[in-house]
Structure 1
Amino acid sequence: MFLICVPGNLCPPESFDALPPDKYVYEWMRLDPIPSLQEAAFELLKIATLYDNVILVGHSTGGIICMQAALFDSTGIIKGMVLVNTGANTNGHKDIRSHVKELSSQPITDVFIDQYLAARVQSIDSVSANILVAFQEYYKSLSEPSIRAAKMLQSQVDTDLIPELKRIKIPVLIVHGILDKVRPVRFAEEIHSHLSNSSLRTLPCGHCPNIEMPSKFAQEVLEYVSKLNDRNLM
């Protein structure tokens, strides 16, 4: 099985460093022109065709990109998904329209970075110094990062995948930090209830299990991959 990881809004590829190095991280935030949700999902599906037995791992915004790609997949390229602290819509997701407006008009500064992360993790002390630096460097490397993030969020405001999730038949692992203030666990439970072949694992952390509890996150993902491998060998 080959992992293609899809980061959340403004999240660097290093946010998946806990997973084995033999993977591909799809940096949709670097695409030009700035993609919508649907455009990012189409591009992800094209990348998936380059590999065999693909498993998508999507965090936050990356998770809804993965779900959309799975719904676009008519040839069975995608064999499984791991959805991390994400949702199939933005219903009740803070004041999302105000957040879009705020992102569009606010420059990305070091103070913004600190506040952005602090609002998404249970404790900033749980995040390694290397990851914190990676976030800072990533923001600085992007062209118009706030505009890019705002456009993707706007795409999500106008999207609700819940009615379509029943079409996804591949095995799906849902991992969710139960202390998440951005995406409460009810979003994970909603996805779980609409997928016919899913399992839900909760962790005692905030919005970013992949950087708050990297070892436990990696364990959950690798156990899921191992089960899929065993199934394919039978």
Structure 2
Amino acid sequence: MITRSGARTPGAPALLCLPGTMCDPVIFDGLAEATGTDVLVAPWLEWPGPHEVARLGERVAETAAEHGPVVLLGHSTGAVIALCAALHDRASHAPAVRGVLCCDSGANMRGHGDVDAIIDRVARNWGPELWRAVARRSVHLPPPAAVAELLDAYPAGLDREAVLAVLRSQRDTDLLPRLGELAGLPALVVHGRFDTARTPEHARELARALDAPEPVLLECGHTPPVELPAEFGAAVAAFLQRLS
């Protein structure tokens, strides 16, 4: 399922947005207005399996080809899937991806604060208490109450086994050796300075691997689109403007 908002100039790329694991796609609300372009949201954890990041990347690349041209915007795990999609797209006969924007992620999970603990908690304690804890951990600045409620409740509609599959797959994936294959593809990394799972150094390593500018560091946590929506939207809009 793809949700859509906004309207784009004919021929201009749409934003194809991928949320993080257990993260409600509501985080991308407002991007159409902020950027003046069409925003497509792919809720990949709601899709039928398999849920390994490479396979999800292939499906996102197929979605990009169907709706392209697009700029991929991935948050957290969604950024890893976006990078897998961009790699797959590069190998196609008619590439549809015009750029990639990664938010609070990394090329691998070395140094990630607590991935194994999260996997263990998902396996053992799946339920509202865990969902709230993950949502709270993912922000430094509290989002509006209505959005916080959606973030707390979103995992209730997900399959725990899908969540475990993607987290284990991401933990075991290292894209660093392959990101050179994306040479020439415009890229931007945006990162929350107070992210407790991913440090700014993760962002800098990813930006170097993508030959992207220095990361845009925002004064927030792991989820800039809802913590600082105006600043995040401005960074995305500026990136799209440079592409045009």
Note whether the superposition's TM-score is higher than 0.5.
Answer: yes
Is the counterpart of residue 220 in structure 1 residue 235 in structure 2? yes
Is the counterpart of residue 104 in structure 1 residue 104 in structure 2? no
Q: Give the corresponding residue for 1:68.
A: 84
Is the counterpart of residue 2 in structure 1 residue 14 in structure 2? yes
Tell whether the 8 Å contact from 2:60 to 2:85 is kept in structure 1 after alignment.
yes
Q: Give the corresponding residue for 2:137.
A: 119
CA distance in 1, matches of 2:135, 2:198: 14
SS at match of 2:163: helix
For residue 109 of structure 2, the aligned residue among 90, 106, 122 is 90
Q: Give the corresponding residue for 1:232.
A: none
1:156 aligned partner, one-letter code: Q
CA distance in 1, matches of 2:216, 2:96: 25
1:32 Cα deviation after fit: 1.4
Tell whether the 8 Å contact from 2:49 to 2:162 is kept in structure 1 after alignment.
no
CA distance in 2, matches of 1:217, 1:46: 27
CA distance in 2, matches of 1:155, 1:198: 28
Tell whether the 8 Å contact from 1:120 to 1:207 is kept in structure 2 after alignment.
yes
For residue 195 of structure 2, the aligned residue among 177, 180, 183 is 180
Is the counterpart of residue 164 in structure 1 residue 178 in structure 2? yes
Unaligned runs of 5+ in 1: 230-234
Tell whether the 8 Å contact from 2:140 to 2:221 is kept in structure 1 after alignment.
yes
2:63 aligned partner, one-letter code: I
Q: Give the corresponding residue for 1:154.
A: 168
Tell whether the 8 Å contact from 1:170 to 1:197 is kept in structure 2 after alignment.
no
1:199 Cα deviation after fit: 4.4
Structure 1, residues 2-59: CA drift from partner, whole Å, max 9, x if none?
A: 0100000001111111300731111110111241111111110010011232100000
Q: How many pairs align?
A: 224
1:61 Cα deviation after fit: 0.3
Is the counterpart of residue 35 in structure 1 residue 51 in structure 2? yes
Tell whether the 8 Å contact from 2:122 to 2:130 is kept in structure 1 after alignment.
no
1:194 Cα deviation after fit: 1.4
Is the counterpart of residue 19 in structure 1 residue 34 in structure 2? no
1:5 aligned partner, one-letter code: C
Structure 1 residues 226, 68: CA separation in 2 closer, same or farther (over 3 Å shift)? same
SS at match of 1:83: strand
CA distance in 2, matches of 1:224, 1:123: 24
**Percent identity (aligned):** 29
1:198 Cα deviation after fit: 4.0
2:177 aligned partner, one-letter code: P
Q: TM-score, structure 1 length as denominator?
A: 0.90
**How well do the aligned residues superpose, as a CA RMSD in angstroms?**
1.5
CA distance in 1, matches of 2:239, 2:141: 27
CA distance in 1, matches of 2:152, 2:211: 39
